Structure 1
Amino acid sequence: MTGLAITLVLAAAFGHAAWNYLSKKASGGTAFIWLFASMSVLLYLPLAVWILVVQKPVIGWYQLGFMLGSAALHSLYFVLLDKGYTIGDLSLIYPLARGTGPMLSTIAAIVFLGEHPSLIALSGAGLIGLGIIVITGNPIKMKDPAARKPMIFAILCGIVIAGYTISDKLAVSSFLIPPLLLDWSSNLGRVFLLTPYALKNWDKVKEQWTLHKFEALGVAILCPLAYILVLTAMVYSPVSYIAPAREVSILIGTAMGAKLLAEGNVKVRLAGASAMVVGLAALSIG
């Protein structure tokens, strides 16, 4: 990866871990998702308009298709993530979801995009996979439905992450959709998809505004910013390097869960997260 790409990815990692901490803290369900998506649309609207007016990107049927697909995939991702955070720890859900995604993204990039990461880069991806195994802990616990359910939501998040990573990579690099415009349109699509629910459950929306307006504002700012930085990095570097490298946020998010939310199994989860950071170093060298 280039130095610029690494800088963008690391900045995105801190922003990503921060908004996940805020989302876990709120655990406000679909009403909270609609609230911060609406705020994101309003906050980033001037920049989206500026891109349309000044850059004049080509927006044809293919571009619209990718925008709609991104909106659908990201909406599903946020719903699954919120379900996981409602019943599971940040230091479990976050690394498991973020670790599963790049593993699948790297495989998909090799199979479908024809990318050829080096042996060192593949070893780094393998270390991230090892970290996933360490973080999930004792496999016997998987027999307990209460322990298994959060992991299932996290893995489903990872699958969706892999899907939108590949789709969005094609959108920004092959179909030249500006990263900020792609993310803004994804938020706009999510607002439209969830508005029927919001109108039907307006009391829940008002409750989330009363209880978690500051968390919603933080997510509204940091979530698009973190992903815009990643999409920009994808313009310059292969997705098979970017997708796993951005997961340094796993260590940050795990530490936040341990220190700020006082979650258990701290040493084991930090050890697994550390293996992922070593994987990041290998990817950077590769």
Structure 2
Amino acid sequence: MSPWALVLVLVAAVTHASWNVLSKQAARADGIVFVWLVALASTVVWGPLFAGFLLVTGTRPDLTDLGLIAVSAAIHLGYFVLLQKGYGKGDLSVVYPVARGTGPMLASLVAVLVLDEHPGPAGVAGIVLVGVGVFMMSGGGRGDLRGLAFGLVVGVLIAGYTIWDSQVVSAFAVAPLMLVYAGEAGRALMLLPVVLGRRELILPTWREHRWPVLGAAVLSFLSYLLVLFAFTMAPVSVVAPAREVSVLVAVLLGGRLLSEGHLPRRLIAASVILGGIVAIALS
């Protein structure tokens, strides 16, 4: 992996873990309304940047681009909704590592089997270490079964959008900013009919959770934009597992800010993951 790609991935990991902590803090809110507010806020906050991008580059999406983006938005919609529901049922320290571990393992497997990518021995060892560390982080599959179940399902969706979006920005050359911003706007539109049926919850959710909404809107957009740029510099089978250093950050934040406990054991597991990250970075 190139140094620039590694920097992008590591910054994305910190921002990704941070917005997940904010989402967990808003877990008592209605999940659909919260996800919609985040998508809407992201569309508004990042609108000037996107408008400037269109003016400077003259980029205009065609029907193929819009179709590819629509599929991405649908997969991400399922991801965000199920993730928020999972945070309402289980601990961040269970849902997050299981989801983040399942996703890159499946994404890397598809990248090797379908996309004909070939990570070296160090890369393969790193991928295995990340998987082992994430499994340790989940408590060896014991304890919070609902959190584990949501984490596994969310992980499948992570694998889906990782593979799909990597091809959209590489094989189809859709600009990463176009994909992320249009995806945010698309999710807001897709959820609008459902949210209108819960309109009485919009203002109370905004008043109580406005800072998590705004924080997640900024950080989730930024974290994934950085990952998409990394996809243009390094293979999916390397980028997808390497970004899971966010598990280490999430454990530290969960242990300190959310007081979820088991910090020593989870830090040991995070060290295993970190070893995998180093191996992948050196591959």
| TM-score, scaled to structure 2 | 0.96
Structure 1: distance between partners of 2:244 and 2:140:
23
| Alignment RMSD (CA, Å) | 1.3
1:181 match: 178
2:212 to 197, 212, 215: 215
Structure 1 contact 95–273 (Cα < 8 Å) conserved: no
Q: Does 1:205 align with 2:207?
A: no
Q: Does 1:266 align with 2:263?
A: yes
Structure 2 contact 54–60 (Cα < 8 Å) conserved: no
2:2 match: 2
* Pairing of 1:131-146 with structure 2 (within 5 A): 131-139=133-141, 141=142
Structure 1 contact 92–269 (Cα < 8 Å) conserved: no
Paired residue secondary structure (1:237): coil
2:90 match: 88
Paired residue secondary structure (1:236): coil
Q: 1:215-250 deviations in whole A, cap 9, x for unaligned?
A: 100001000001000101111111111000011010
Shift of 1:171: 0.8
Letter in 1 for 2:252: A
Structure 2 contact 97–138 (Cα < 8 Å) conserved: no
* Pairing of 1:1-286 with structure 2 (within 5 A): 1-27=1-27, 28=29, 29-57=31-59, 59-139=61-141, 141=142, 147-286=144-283
Percent identity (aligned): 42
Shift of 1:138: 4.6
Letter in 1 for 2:35: I
Unaligned 5+ runs, structure 2: none
- Report the number of matched residues: 281
Structure 1: distance between partners of 2:106 and 2:20:
21
Structure 2: distance between partners of 1:208 and 1:183:
24
Unaligned 5+ runs, structure 1: none
Structure 1 or 2: larger helix share? Answer: 1
Structure 2: distance between partners of 1:136 and 1:196:
36
Q: 1:235-278 deviations in whole A, cap 9, x for unaligned?
A: 11111110000110100001111111010322222222221111
Structure 1: distance between partners of 2:236 and 2:140:
32
Structure 2 contact 101–135 (Cα < 8 Å) conserved: no
Structure 2 contact 93–138 (Cα < 8 Å) conserved: no
| TM-score, scaled to structure 1 | 0.95
